[in-house]
Every structure is written in structure tokens, then in C-alpha cells.
Structure 1
Amino acid sequence: MSSFKQPALSVVDGAGGDVATEPPSFSAGDLAHALGLGTNLLVGRFRVDLSSGSWWWSDEIYTMHGWKRHEVEPGLEALSSRKHPDDRSRVVRAATEALRLGRPFACSHRIVDRKGRTRSVVVIGQGSRGGSGHSPELIGYVVDATPVQKEALARRSSAVVTRAFVSQAVIEQAKGVIMAVRGVSEETAERLLLEAAGRADIPLRLAADQVMTRLRVDREPAGVTQAVLARVLDGVEPVGRPRGHDPLLTRRPRKAAR
């Protein structure tokens, strides 16, 4: 495996001699592990000569927008034509200040590629005011962050589905116990559970969770009897709110009139 090695540094000691120090080396694998974690993203480069107004893009920026290199001339008109309609009026003050002062900036917006697909991109750049004999320019990168957003959405969706399955599983367990102990149909078992939830004014899942939790504690040696089940269903109770969120409990008492 190839390795990268930092150049040796010369340190001047008090006697005026140079002492060469051998810096630690690191492998390409170490570097990839430290910098290349996560999702691989498409990154393009751009450069703008602010004096002449000429643009240059790398192939990746063409790809993000759905263009081929010969199909469009890099510039503001091309970029504006692909910006998402809802984001066209957004002006990022940080970018304006970066161009004026030569500071780095980063901002994000959406584009609509040639196939009509919405993509989220992050623009990173830095304005250079230019020195002697050099024109001011803006240089930077465009990162297609769409895969990251899709992964985040997929994780949230998966979490919602998981919670739904867990919630439904508890309800089905409680209904199954009622059906087995009372010898009733699924519709009747669900109605009994709904009635218990209604009396306590809580969601069906919380009522089912209370029923299953108390059955594990209150069950008799012979198992869950009808008496135990009736006691548990009647014992379903409201779920108390934290004291700090109760306006009646956190309200300060009025001072007595003198």
C-alpha cells in the first residue's frame, strides 16, 4: 500500500545548527478512513474571473445539472435557468460579503436538472480580491448533497415504520390476551380495549401497553384469569403530564390583597 509522508522540517536550535526531525508517516488507508467516511458525494469545481466575467466549470457541475460540456456555456444565465423556482429569490448575504472581503462562504439551494429531478447542492467558495497583476476571482466547489438528504429521509421513514410496528404489536398482544381469556372475537376484544382507553382518555397503544405491563405483574399462579383481566382493564389510567408542563402547577400564586 502506498503511503504519504510529510516533508521533513528543519528546527533551528540555540547553537545555530539545523536538526532534521522525522515526522510520523501515515498510510493511504489511514487517510481514507479519516477523511472518506460517510456517503460518497459528487463534487465539482468552478472558477470565475470577476474582471472579465468568464466562468470555468469541471465536468461534475455539468453532470449535476444534466448537461454535457458542449451544450451550455458556463455562466450566471445557465445557473439561473436550473435553480429551483422556490429558491430563486433567496439571496445569501454571506456570499455577497465573501466576494467583497475575500472570505470563504458556504450556502445551499436546490436545482432542477434537465430530467426534472430536484437536487440539493452546497456551494463553497472564496473570493480573492487579487494582488499585483492578478484579477479578482471567485473559486470554489459545488457539492451534490442529494444522497445525504435521501439517506436522512430513509432513516426517518424507517424509524416511523418501526414505531408503528411496535405500537401495533402491543395492541395485537393485548387483543390476543382478551380474546383468549374471554373467548371473544377480535372485534369484541378491540372494543373492550378501546373502552378502557376511552375511560382513561389515552391512545389505544398506551392502554394496551398498560394492560400488558400489569398482566405480567398481576397474573396469578394459574395464569391470567377473567378476574385478573377485568381488574387490569378497569385499572387503565390516564398518563400524567410532567409537572413542569402543567400550566396550573407552574402558575405563580397571586399575592393576597392587603
Structure 2
Amino acid sequence: MTVALDAPKATAPARSNSGATAADLASVTQAIAVGTPLLVGRYRVDLASGQWWWSDEVYLMHGREPGEIEPGLDTMCSRKHPDDRQRLIRAATVALKAGKPFACSHRIVDPSGKARTVVVTGQGRRDHGGKLTEVVGYIVDATTVQREALEREAQQAVSRAFVHAAAVEQVKGIIMLVRGVDDMTAARELAEVAQNVTVPVHVAASQVMTAIKKAGAAGPTGEATLEAALAAVHPVERPRGHEAQLTRRRSRG
């Protein structure tokens, strides 16, 4: 259901007894409402009776109509992706024993086999004697956000691929023009240059184009300029994080 918020009226800001300015609803929503709207549900567990309660949204996340199934431990565990079950249990148990809120993401699989990524938050409530009596929290369906992030990454990868391909084609074209060779020969020459300094072909092409552009003020690209640009291709230092990752992989092997 969509709720329309009325625009604030042009009146003087209300003040509380403490002197602080009361926030109007529009300003609050402007401050906290960002990104994609998400499906958010609530849950509550009475530890003494073992009774669970879900809001309607949690049923929908599990591929069910509200009230269609009985909320409970077995239902929650059966819907979790097998790879995530123990991780979530450990995170929640440690936090609740320490009297702290917890938050953990995991995947659930509905009866049709559709997987969703959800974020579960929770905290324990205690009685006057300090005994933990119930757990309450929220479940947020983050599937849409995750999908959007993957789509952005894919689009960025495609864009990078186009940029890389463009640089390679530019250098090949220059080699063909200056040296009078065909496409395959030009591609082979560029690949050999890249191989000699152990860099990807697109990195070598980018370096060649940079060198040619710097020399461009001296006149059109000729054999000497091309040769100097190809000779300028050099190794690229890898990020330290990449090296550390490779070291960890080798140690596991």
C-alpha cells in the first residue's frame, strides 16, 4: 500500500518544552528515506511458550499468504538456505547471550524454489529480574537491492570491456596503417609486446595510446613514434591487497 505524505504547512516550527525544534514528518522522511523501497516485516518470539508471531510481510517473503502456515522455528529453519543456517544461529546466539542486538543476512528459499536474500535484526527483551523472555526484530527482503548492485557491477564490467576493446582496436589500426600489415599481424605484434612485459593486452594498448598522444604534437604517427610507444609498454604493479589474496589462496592449496 502506498501512503502519500502531505506537504508541511507553512507554519512556525513547533518547539517542545526543552526548547528543541519538533521535526515535521516530511523532513524526517527526507532524512531517512533513501534508495529502493524494501519489503520489511516484523517478528516476535516468546521464549517461555515458544510461540512465534510474524507480520504479513514475513509470510510473503516465504512465499506464503498471511496465516497460511504456522510461524515457528521449524518453518524458519526449513526455509533457510543450507549454507547459511549455522552462521546465522551462531551470530544470533552470541549476541543474545551478551544482551546485544544482532543483525545477519542469509538466503531463504520459498516453496517454488525462488531464493531471496534477507537481513534479520533482533534483540532480546528481559523481565525485571534480568531473565531473557522474548526476542523481537525485523526481517528485510534485500533481494532487490542485491540484484540492482549486481546489475550495476555487470554494467560497469561491460563498460570497461568496451573501453579496453576500443584501445586495442585503436593500436591495431595504427600498426596496420604505419606498417602496412593485416589485422591478424597487428594483433599478434601487440600481443607479443604485452607478453614480453607480462601485462594484459588492453593494458599494453592503453599505454601505447598514451605514449602516442604525448608524441602527437610532433606530427603524425610514424614508424619511429610507433616503435617508441611500443617500447614504452611496462609492467604494472599489482595492488598489495591482490598479492595478499593470492598468498592466502596458495597457502590453502
- TM-score (norm. length: structure 2): 0.79
Question: Which moves more between the two structures, 183-192 or 99-108?
Answer: 99-108
8 A Cα contact 1:43 1:60, kept in partner: yes
Q: 1:94: Cα distance to partner?
A: 4.4
The whole-number CA distance in structure 2 between the counterparts of 1:65 and 1:112 is 7
Aligned positions of 1:186-225 closer than 5 A: 186-219=183-216, 222-225=219-222
Unaligned runs of 5+ in 1: 11-20, 246-258
Q: Offset at 1:32?
A: 1.4
Question: Structure 2 residue aligned with 1:183, among 180, 184, 195?
Answer: 180
Equivalent residue number for residue 16 of structure 1: none
Larger-gyration structure (1/2): 1
Q: 2:106, 2:118 → 1: CA distance?
A: 6
Say which is worse superposed, 156-165 or 76-85, in terms of deviation. 156-165
Does the 8 A contact of 2:15 with 2:21 survive in 1? Answer: no
Q: Is the 8 A contact 1:200 1:237 kept in 2?
A: yes
Q: How many residues matched? A: 231
Matched, 1:239 2:247: no
1:62-112 C-alpha deviation (Å, 9 max, x unpaired): 000001123211111111111111123335444224544543222222111
2:36 to 36, 39, 45: 39
Paired letter, 1:202: V
Q: Distance in 1 between matches of 2:132 and 2:214?
A: 79
State percent identity of aligned pairs: 48
118-127 vs 196-205, greater mean Cα deviation: 196-205
Structure 2: gaps spanning 5 or more residues: 1-6, 242-253
- Residue 68 of structure 1 corresponds to 65
Deviations along 1:34-82, one digit per CA (max 9) or x if unpaired, are 1111221111011112111111110000000001123211111111111
Partner of 1:15: none
Match of residue 140 from structure 2? 143
3-state DSSP of counterpart to 1:89: helix
Aligned pair 1:155/2:152, yes or no? yes
Change (3 A) 1:81 1:221: closer
Secondary structure of the 1:31 match is helix
8 Å CA contact retained: 1:207, 1:236: no
1:9 corresponds, among 4, 17, 26, to 17
SS in 2 for 1:136: strand
Which range moved further: 156-165 or 88-97? 88-97
* 2:53 equivalent in structure 1: 56
Q: 1:7 to 1:130 in 2, by over 3 A?
A: farther
SS at structure 2 position matched to 1:84: coil
2:119·2:139 contact (CA, 8 Å) conserved in 1?
A: yes
Q: Is the 8 A contact 2:40 2:140 kept in 1?
A: yes
Partners of 2:237 and 2:71 lie apart in 1 by 59
Cα distance between partner residues in 2 of 1:218 and 1:135: 74
Structure 1 residue aligned with 2:227? 230
Change (3 A) 1:135 1:100: closer
- In 2, distance between residues paired with 1:135 and 1:209? 62
* TM-fit CA distance, 1:184: 2.5
Corresponding residue for 1:79?
Answer: 76
In structure 2, relative to structure 1, the CA distance for the partners of 1:179 and 1:44 (3 Å cut) is same
TM-score norm. by structure 1 comes to 0.77
Judged with a 3 Å threshold, the aligned counterparts in structure 2 of structure 1 residues 6 and 108 are, in CA distance, closer, same or farther, namely farther
Q: CA deviation at 1:2?
A: 4.0
